[in-house]
Amino acid sequence: MTPLFLGLASTDISPAEHAFFSSIDPAGFILFRRNIEDPEQLRRLTDALRALSGRGDVPILIDQEGGRVARMQPPHWPAFPKAESFDRLYDIAPITAMEAARLNAQAIAVMLAGVGINVDCLPLLDVRQPGAHDIIGDRALGAEPQRVAALGRAVLDGLRAGGAVGVVKHVPGHGRAMADSHVELPVVDADLEALEIDLAPFIDLADAPMAMTAHVVYPAWDGHECASLSSVVIGEIIRGRIGFDGLLMSDDLGMHALKGDFGARAAGVLAAGCDIALHCSGDMAEMEAVAGAVGRISDAAKARLDRAMATIAEGVQATAFDDLIARRDALMAYLA
């Protein structure tokens, strides 16, 4: 198995992709809007990915946050509220807001499970800061660490109960960034004291099964490399100060915050301490470069992957999707 989560080009597995994936055995896959037509097609695709990998629990990831980040969309699937909605509810009734967030996440997970997706890149634990770039914005659960952690815990619990593994992101915190890492490399010049605010939700949820790094430079910790490429940030801050021992994946290698060829990017994030390199575009030439630059998955990374995927079987609850939506909507309407 190679330490890669890879994307696909289209709505089915092409012969070239089938041969490539069979030869390198990626640890998992990630799906985007380009891969999705309707429930029947999506279920066929995820079934095919499981058959290809030979693993019933192969991670199949998606970014299904709600709000403006949703790969599965109407008319085939309902729209879900943005994270900011639960932040606003928290102002009125914190316990009710947490329950609404949990029910919402459980409904998302049940929806994903129905089409064979078992990992959702959610929740964001980025603490929103005034004046920062809007790439986080209304995707954030709040501007106060304790609130972000409380709502983030509710989301993780809901995802697990519905049959999906949650991924906390973007560790060690993207909320202060003044740039979009999809476009350029953000540099956060906050001092150590200020950065403790960003770390706090990740510390509270250090037992999360998976996490995704930020392509952000923090000179207070490492003035040369972004977190995804920094052995200092990963070793001393993420694994050390935060105490996270779950599966750590990089953010997408294709984002313009990173420079250099794709092989170097993949090798770099793994050398820095990520367990998995994430490549999303489905571009075959890029994937071949990435695969050619990495070896086999480490024993420690494989153990973390297995442990993360096992949390689904441990926590799943049988609850009807419509019932979850109705209970969430009743809570949100009561507080509106």
- Per the CB < 8 A criterion, the answer to whether 266 and 277 are in contact is yes
Integer Cα distance of 16 and 21 in angstroms: 9
What size, in residues, is the chain? 336
* Distance, CA of 14 to CA of 254 (rounded, Å): 21
Q: Which residue has the higher pLDDT, 270 or 183?
A: 270
Tokens of 126: 């980025």
Which sign, positive or negative, has the C-alpha torsion 124, 134, 95, 112?
Answer: negative
Q: Is the pLDDT of residue 334 over 80?
A: no
How confident is the model over 17-21, as a mean pLDDT?
A: 98
The whole model's pTM is what?
0.96
pLDDT of residue 30: 98
The neighbouring-strand residues paired with 326 are: none
Give the DSSP H or E segment for 137: none
Cβ(161)–Cβ(155) below 8 Å: no
Residues noted as catalytic: 182, 251
The whole-number average pLDDT for the span 274-301 is 98
- What is the tens place of the pLDDT at every residue in 126-147? 999 999 899 999 999 999 999 9
Domains of the chain: 2-335 (3.20.20.300)
- Which residues touch 310 (CB under 8 Å, ≥6 apart)? none
Give the distance between the most distant pair of CA atoms in the chain.
55
Residue type at position 113 = A
CA pair distance 104, 123, nearest whole angstrom: 12
Which neighbouring-strand residues pair with 117? none
Amino acid at 281: S
Q: How many CB atoms lie within 10 A of CB 202?
A: 29
pLDDT of residue 76: 97
In angstroms, rounded to a whole number, what is the distance separating the alpha carbons of residues 123 and 324? Answer: 18
Helices and strands per DSSP (H, E), number in the chain: 11, 10
Please state, rounded to an integer, the average pLDDT across all residues of the chain: 96
Residue 48 exposure: Cα atoms within 13 Å on the Cβ side: 16
Lowest mean pLDDT among 16-30, 32-46, 179-193, 228-242: 179-193
Closest Cα partner for 111 from 211, 33, 42? 42
Query: So what's the pLDDT on residue 324?
Result: 93
Strand blocks (E) in 146-187:
165-171
Give me the sign of the Cα torsion angle 38, 318, 101, 50: negative
Angle between helical axes of 145-162 and 94-114 (0-180°, round to 10) = 40
pLDDT category at 259 given cuts 50, 70, 90 is very high
* Tokens 């593994």 sit on residue: 165
For 253, list phi and psi in degrees, rounded to 5.
-65, -20
pLDDT of the residue at 314: 74
What is the reported pLDDT for 34? 98
Q: Which residue has the tokens 């599966």?
A: 247
**CA 79 – CA 55 distance, rounded (Å):** 31
Question: For position 21, what pLDDT does the model report?
Answer: 98
Q: What is the pLDDT of residue 316?
A: 77
What is the DSSP secondary structure assignment for residue 241, as one 8-state letter?
I
Answer whether residue 319 shows pLDDT above 90: no
Give the span between the Cα atoms of 16 and 315, in whole angstroms: 37
